[in-house]
Copies of this chain bind each other. A is one copy, B any other.
Amino acid sequence: MIKIGLDANGGDFGVNSTVPGAMMAVEKYKDIEIVLYGDEAKIKPLLTNSERITIVDAKDTISMGEEDPFRAVRKGKETSLVKAMTGAKTKEVDAVVTSGPTQAVVMAAHIIVKRLPKIERVALCPLLPNRDGNPRLMLDVGANVELKPEHIGQFAIFATVAAKEILGIDNPKVGYLNIGSEPGKGRLLDKEVYDYLKELNGINFYGNVEGDQLLDCPVDIVVAEGYGGNIALKTAEGTLKAFGGMLKDGIKSSFMAKIGYLFMKKTLKGVIKKVSSSEVGGAMIFGVDSNIVKAHGNSNAYAIMNAIKQARTMVSANIIEKVMEKLPENIEIVEEANKENEA
């Protein structure tokens, strides 16, 4: 039996999407048990099935707009997120699914579940939408700064295993986000990363990829230094939002366009759905001693079910074990820099 913890209070819709999502998942996958961490009084009326379902009462919630996620996690012993992560730490559950606020999730995974041995950095690994309809893996997207080539190598190994097990891609191609496609491009760090990845065993290194290739991507995995990855991901999101806003303004201000919109509505919505990150799957957290899936904040029951499915695959495929086996032994990273980064 695979035990999956669900942060039932989390996300924009709380129990109203998480509990129905859990119901769908236990119905569909007979090899899972779900532990619902959340407000028992609110959960109970929504249960349509109590088979392979346990509730761990947690009255508090870390709000989606939390401005100090570090403090919220530290002080949030009664929150559903902290209780779920504690369940992962004590191995009460094999995985955690949450649609809570990203920064709090990464932080809680980091300080409660804790890092795996040999792993120096925890990173968020979202699935990126792509023009061809096949999602790509990308990490890091901002949890870390001041990364070294060895850290990015670890990300590449994790994503290589995850792309095979989650997306079914054999020998996935790994690209490094840089400011030019040729080997010598970028900062000193970028050149070092390129040389390191080129020689790294266990990955299929393609070379550099640039910002304009992200959504029409020649590789299956994009590894990035957290600063560049964050800028790229946010710029892509912001660009889509701004373009969508301009389109809306344009439609509103023209009668002809309004008519056109009626005919094009389905196609437009389809394209928007295709580029919406909530459609392609949950982000995974690399580097901690459990399988954590961060679903989009606005996940509906269906998206929660998919995130549970993803967590189930991570557990049954033994992703953590496979990654640990592939990590190179000869890691020499200054631990001081590491501690500084975590502080």
Q: Which residues of A does B touch, CB under 8 Å?
A: 130-131, 142, 145-146, 177, 179, 186-188, 190, 210-216, 226-228, 230-243, 245-247, 250-251, 253-254, 256-257, 259-268, 270-271, 274-275
- Residues B235 and A247 in contact, CB atoms below 8 Å apart: no
Contact of A238 among B212, B251, B267, B274 (CB under 8 A): B212
In the complex, which residue of chain B has the Cβ closest to the Cβ of A258? B263
Contact of A234 among B211, B226, B261, B267 (CB under 8 A): B211
Complex: how many Å from CA A261 to CA B234? 29
- Residues A254 and B239 in contact, CB atoms below 8 Å apart: no
Complex: how many Å from CA A213 to CA B241? 10
| Further pairs besides A232-B232, A242-B275, A243-B275: 4, Cβ < 8 Å | A131-B246, A211-B236, A231-B231, A254-B267
In the complex, chain B residues whose CB is within 8 Å of the CB of A274: 246
Nearest CB in chain B: distance from A200 CB, A: 22
A sample of 23 cross-chain residue pairs with beta-carbon separation below 8 angstroms, ordered by A number, consists of: A131-B245, A179-B227, A190-B227, A211-B233, A211-B236, A211-B238, A214-B238, A216-B242, A232-B232, A235-B235, A236-B236, A243-B271, A246-B274, A247-B271, A251-B264, A257-B266, A259-B260, A259-B263, A260-B260, A260-B265, A261-B264, A263-B263, A264-B264
- Residues B245 and A267 in contact, CB atoms below 8 Å apart: no
- Residues B228 and A231 in contact, CB atoms below 8 Å apart: yes
- Residues B214 and A239 in contact, CB atoms below 8 Å apart: yes
Complex: how many Å from CA A142 to CA B246? 27
Complex: how many Å from CA A306 to CA B264? 35
Nearest CB in chain B: distance from A3 CB, A: 35
Contact of A179 among B186, B211, B230 (CB under 8 A): B230
Nearest CB in chain B: distance from A262 CB, A: 7
In the complex, which residue of chain B has the Cβ closest to the Cβ of A228? B231
Complex: how many Å from CA A231 to CA B190? 13
In the complex, which residue of chain B has the Cβ closest to the Cβ of A252? B267
- Residues A142 and B179 in contact, CB atoms below 8 Å apart: yes
In the complex, chain B residues whose CB is within 8 Å of the CB of A188: 146
In the complex, chain B residues whose CB is within 8 Å of the CB of A242: 130-131, 215-216, 275
Complex: how many Å from CA A130 to CA B179? 23
In the complex, chain B residues whose CB is within 8 Å of the CB of A265: 260
- Residues A267 and B271 in contact, CB atoms below 8 Å apart: no
- Residues B264 and A238 in contact, CB atoms below 8 Å apart: no
In the complex, chain B residues whose CB is within 8 Å of the CB of A246: 131, 271, 274-275
Decide yes or no: A247 and B268 within 8 Å by CB, A145-B187, A215-B238 being known contacts: yes
Contact of A235 among B142, B236, B256, B260 (CB under 8 A): B236
Nearest CB in chain B: distance from A314 CB, A: 27
In the complex, chain B residues whose CB is within 8 Å of the CB of A210: 231, 234, 238
Contact of A257 among B250, B254, B256, B263 (CB under 8 A): B263
Contact of A250 among B228, B238, B271 (CB under 8 A): B271
